[in-house]
Structure 1
Amino acid sequence: MRPLPTLLALSLAAAFGGFAATALRDSLQNPTQAAVPVATPAVAALPAAVGSTPMPSLAPMLARVTPAVVSVHTKQRVSVSPFGNDPVFRRMFPELSQERINESLGSGVIVDAVNGYVLTNHHVIEGADSVSVTLADGRTLPAAFVGSDPDTDIAVMQIKTDGLSALPLADSSALQVGDFVVAVGNPFGIGQTVTSGIVSAVGRSGLRGLGFQDFIQTDASINPGNSGGALVNLNGELVGINTASFNPRGSMAGNIGLSFAIPTSLARSVMQQLVTTGEVRRGTLGLESQDVTAQLARGLGLDEPRGALVTRVFAGSAAAAAGLKPGDVVVSANGQRVDDRGSLRNFEGLQAIGSTVTLDVLREGKPLQLKATLREQPRALAGLELDPRLDGATFAELPERLRQSGASGVLVEAVAKGSRAAGSGLRAGDVVVAASAGGFADLPGFRASFTQAPAQLVLRVIRGNRPGELLMR
């Protein structure tokens, strides 16, 4: 059995969580001394005007924008042992462990001045014990957690004070490649910083380890600490939440013009659900699929190896109601190209419950168009609902960032102490990739594998990148 693929196949310099600015501080305090003085060539200053026309400036727009962009400070208490992560010695010598407070920095955007709602990235505040926000005017305020969605990397906080400025949310679907945009945030903790560029691409997806994706790509620099900050248009309207920059050499190699932001159309939808219910509910087709390989394409009579091949349609699902069948190949959804099962799943994850989608399908090589109304995707499942031998365990979908890295299966979210599942050795954090009836990709597939109760229930699990099997008694 192969272990879970490592998530570090690509370095996504997004400041996921936070960062230490020690190296930057040291370099500022100890600048390199040049051995030989170098003459600096004179540079002519730009004129204030050309004829009677003033030189263009972003300053008036930024005067309205920057008060709404905040710095986010998080603190997290962690226990540090001289034995590292060795579970045996940590249990034997707990008194040697010491508590340490990790601090990190990020950015956020005030989007509702009346209620004090602040948008940021989930990875900025993930695991934090306390969060505070520093406004552009220098005031530092405690922030209350409203809700977050790891799969889209959106989080909502709330601050309470007077005199807040908020950014209006633009229609990000109107963005076009070539539009000018400006990024505002707190890179490396040095203070509020503005960078500019253009929209390099829209609807970008397929980046490993980043959950559901519909990114705006820009060449405006988004460095560590900028995560959660604002991407605005020239009208000073919010078009995206800065989230990541891509650099194969890591963040210290500098910006290379590949930065990504979550569009406001997605952020607005997630925020509304988090503010209203505290959680995000998603629609699903209710099917399993696989990539179309060159060999499968030949066998199916397809012109090219592209699309998501339907391998299973769950009873009572949106896919079943729409008439999808195993063997169908989904090649586009709502006009968006579907290259593989990952892109189909990504499309599903960005749709609301009850939305109707149009699927372009190839059935026995012939084109077919079907409409499906998405139904709710279950968030978690109690083991007792599946089999008495799983009593005490709760199963949940894998975080989407793991799926984007090639993982499949379900996550053991919790195991009650002294329960039947615990007695068989199941632990919280295990990833179940197969059961007695065979493998499965997600929670609906896991549920479907218990249509008939197996005489002997064996779970294949991955624990800490190590595979194994558990006999559930």
Structure 2
Amino acid sequence: MFVGTHSRLHYSSLSSRRPLRALLFGGVASLGLAVAPGLAGAQSPIQAPTAENGHSGNNITAQVQREPAIALPSLSPLVERVAPAVVNISARLNDDSSEAADQPADEGGSQFDDMLRRFFENRGMPRPNHQAMALGSGFIVDPDGYIVTNNHVVSHSDKITVIFKDNSRHPAKVIGRDEKSDLALLKIDTKEKLPFVTWGDSDNVKVGDWVVADGNAFGLGGTVTAGIVSALGRNINEGPYDDFIQIDAPINRGNSGGPTFNLSGEVIGINTAIYSPSGGSVGIGFAIPSATAKGVIEQLKAGGHVTRGWLGVAIQGITPTIARSLGLNPDQPEGALVASVTPDSPAAKAGIKQGDVIVSAGGHPIKAVHDLPRLVANTPVGQKLELKVLRNGKDTTVTAEVVQMPQNLEQVASDQSESPEASTTSLGLQLAAIDARSRQQYRIPKEVEGVVVTKVANDSPAAVLGLQPGDVIQSVDQQPVKGPEQAASALKQASGKGTILLLLNRHGASQFVGLSVTPGVGGGNPG
């Protein structure tokens, strides 16, 4: 499971974002043994076994390691340089915060909390009575006292304290928070210039690069670990702009908001979450890339909030089945499939249509569905964006002007019609026209047209795909359907291809799905 890694005293420290999978948010401290030659403090080279030193001449390792051994350097010069800019953060939870109460009571302290309890109980001493606190990490990015951390560390607090390496404490105020990126900017008042660190370029980071991190693991104070970049562009389904750097350095509760450094001492990531079945580090940690964080922090510093670009399309990924239905390569489907277009939006004005596949935006290829929202969000408001689109097997290009993302993207719901039914026996669907009763029963928005699914047979192709009563089939192979008999006929005809592309609407949200069927099997019996 995913867990936020900021540490809480007596209470769980799961992410303040939706608890979809327990995501330990907090401090991800990353530090590994770098093998870059030439750094200070190198230890003696490790010798490979050879025939000369008494080992078998047939030793495979000896045969492979003919190159001179590489020394393992000390990272202490780097750590000494950047550590003064890394801080601990203590945030007192406000009374109306439900986060601590909503989480299992044994998550926060874990083994460390159990150890403290045993320490006091074994001596007949009462445990200290602490208020609920969130403990995290942060780092100074400006000598005037601006500090970066995770939003989930401070979002439910009424008092924030920043603790420096010398244990001096300073009250901090929130300059701005951004829930979508899980970033926050704090400020402390200071008369002297503070040590600070600079941003690196996460776009130049490669898998296998060494990284170093410092954070407040389990509230113990500055803890440095090391590791390598395990993967890039990770999506952990925690937000629309997920683009995490995955690192293998040990990261734990309390590290949230702490920096991940490259070997030049530049911040290339902000440690945010770990994957953990137990709550402790298993070597799978996630950091927000500096390329994302830098722009967010600059906006928070300038105005206290973040403005993002918006086109007005709902998109989805392309599965192999959907790719076959669209005539695309199912082995390597790329692009973002447009599930719906908001009326009067920039996308609608540019001519984007439902069923289009956006393959590039602003000259950047859209390899995966998450590429597009990140790119659009980071595009300045007012800038025109050239979109390359695949429509009905043909390439076309449109230009849309990016506007500011609306504060509330609302869905409309409510009511109308008569109700004949039809069934498709091979697919396992019972279909009906949409009337006032079904709109109310299934919460079908008044602007949604098509046929409603009233029954799904067990173990049928439709059931395997996840269709359920209340789903609205709006089109079959990109042809709109108006009534159940028309839909049943279209499904029967399309089933001869082996794959059917359906446009479904569930609770007001449209999405394409690819349905695999056995060619030649009857498609349905109107009834």
The interval holding the TM-score normalised by the smaller chain is: 0.5 to 0.7
- Give the secondary structure class of the aligned counterpart of 1:143: strand
Please give the alpha-carbon distance, in whole angstroms, between the structure 2 residues aligned to 1:54 and 1:301. Answer: 54
- Residues 313-351 of structure 1, C-alpha deviation per residue, up to 9 Å, x if partnerless? 3344332344322321123445344444x5543443344
CA distance in 1: counterparts of 2:339 and 2:409, whole angstroms: 23
Give me the whole-angstrom Cα distance separating, in 2, the residues matched to 1:259 and 1:127: 24
Q: For the structure 1 residues 433 and 306, does the alpha-carbon distance in structure 2 shift closer, same or farther, using more than 3 Å as the test?
A: farther
Corresponding residue number in structure 2 for 1:121: 150
- 2:285 aligned partner: 259
CA deviation string 1:291-334 (max 9, x = no partner): 44555444432332654332433344332344322321123445
4+ residue segments displaced more than 6 Å = none
Compute the displacement of 1:75 (Å): 0.5
Is 1:72 equivalent to 2:117 in the alignment?
A: no
Matched with 2:227 is 197
Task: Indicate the residue corresponding to 2:298 in structure 1.
Answer: 272
| Aligned with 2:387 (options 351, 359, 364) | 359
User: Is the Cα–Cα contact under 8 Å of residues 84 and 165 in structure 2 kept in the other structure?
Assistant: yes
- Counterpart-to-counterpart distance in 2, 1:127 and 1:149: 13
Q: 1:381 to 1:289 in 2, by over 3 A?
A: closer
> Does the CA-based 8 Å contact 1:313-1:325 persist in structure 2?
yes
Q: 1:290/1:240 Cα in 2 relative to 1: closer, same or farther (>3 Å)?
A: closer
Asked whether the 8 Å contact 2:235–2:243 carries over to 1, the reply is no
Decide whether the 8 Å contact of 2:7 with 2:218 is kept in 1.
no
Q: Identity, % of aligned pairs? A: 38
Note if contact 2:97-2:156 (Cα within 8 Å) is conserved in structure 1: no
What is the rounded CA distance, in whole Å, between the counterparts of 2:92 and 2:304 in structure 1?
A: 22
Q: Which has the larger displacement, 264-273 or 104-113? A: 264-273
8 Å CA contact 1:330–1:338 kept in 2: the answer is: no
Moved more, 277-286 or 299-308: 299-308
Cα distance in 2 for residues equivalent to 1:270 and 1:319 = 25
* Structural mapping, 1:159-178, within 5 Å: 159-161=188-190, 162-178=192-208
Contact 1:216/1:262, CA 8 A, preserved across alignment: yes
Q: TM-score by structure 2 length?
A: 0.57
Structure 2 contact 336–366 (Cα < 8 Å) conserved: no
1:302 and 1:104 map into 2 onto residues whose CA distance is 49
Contact conserved, 1:79 with 1:100, CA < 8 A, in 2?
Answer: no
Amino acid in structure 2 at the alignment position of 1:246: Y
Decide which of 305, 309, 313 is 1:287's aligned counterpart: 313
Q: After superposition, what is the alpha-carbon deviation per residue over 1:27-55, rounded to whole angstroms, capped at 9, x for unaligned? A: xxxxxxxxxxxxxxxxxxx985669x997
* Aligned match of 2:213: 183
Aligned match of 1:150: 179
Whole-Å separation in 1 of the counterparts to 2:264 and 2:97: 48
Partner of 2:249: 220
Between the aligned partners of 1:257 and 1:55, the Cα distance in structure 2 is 21
Paired position in structure 2 for 1:20: 9
Contact 2:247 2:283 in 1 (8 A): yes
> How big is the shift at 1:169?
1.2
CA contact (8 A) 1:313 1:319 kept: yes
1:435–1:322: structure 2 CA closer, same or farther, 3 Å change rule? Answer: closer
- What is the distance in 2 between the residues matched to 1:77 and 1:290? 38
CA RMSD of aligned residues (A): 3.6
Counterpart of 1:188, as a letter, is F
Q: Is the 8 A contact 1:78 1:100 kept in 2?
A: no
The structural deviation recorded for 1:100 is 8.8
What CA distance in whole angstroms lies between the structure 1 residues aligned with 2:79 and 2:263?
Answer: 9
When structure 1 is superposed on structure 2, of 172-181 and 364-373 the one drifting more is: 364-373
Structure 2 distance, partners of 1:217, 1:320, is: 36
Relative distance call for 1:157 and 1:364 in structure 2 (3 A) is same
Gap change, CA 1:131 and 1:286, over 3 Å in 2: same
Shift, 1:132, TM fit: 0.5
Unaligned runs of 5+ in 2: 13-40, 47-69, 103-128, 414-441, 450-506, 509-527
State the number of aligned residues.
340
1:110 to 134, 140, 143: 140
**Cα 1:250–1:160 shift into 2, 3 Å:** same
Where do 5+ consecutive residues of structure 1 fail to align? 1-10, 24-45, 86-98, 388-431, 440-459, 462-473
Q: Which residue is equivalent to 2:79?
A: 62
Deviations 1:224-257 (A, max 9, x none): 111100111111111111111112x1323xx222
Alignment partners' CA distance in 1, 2:152 and 2:287 = 14
Contact 1:360 1:369 (8 Å CA) reproduced = yes
Q: 1:329 and 1:120, CA in 2 relative to 1: closer, same or farther beyond 3 A?
A: same
CA contact (8 A) 2:42 2:74 kept: no
Instruction: Pick from 308, 329, 345 the counterpart of residue 373 of structure 2.
Output: 345
Distance 1:381 1:207, change over 3 A: closer
Counterpart position of 2:278: 250
1:210 Cα offset (Å): 4.1
Q: Measure how far apart 1:21 and its partner are.
A: 7.0
**CA distance, structure 1, for counterparts of residue 334 and residue 443 of structure 2:** 25
Separation in structure 2 between the aligned mates of residue 361 and residue 219 of structure 1, nearest angstrom: 38
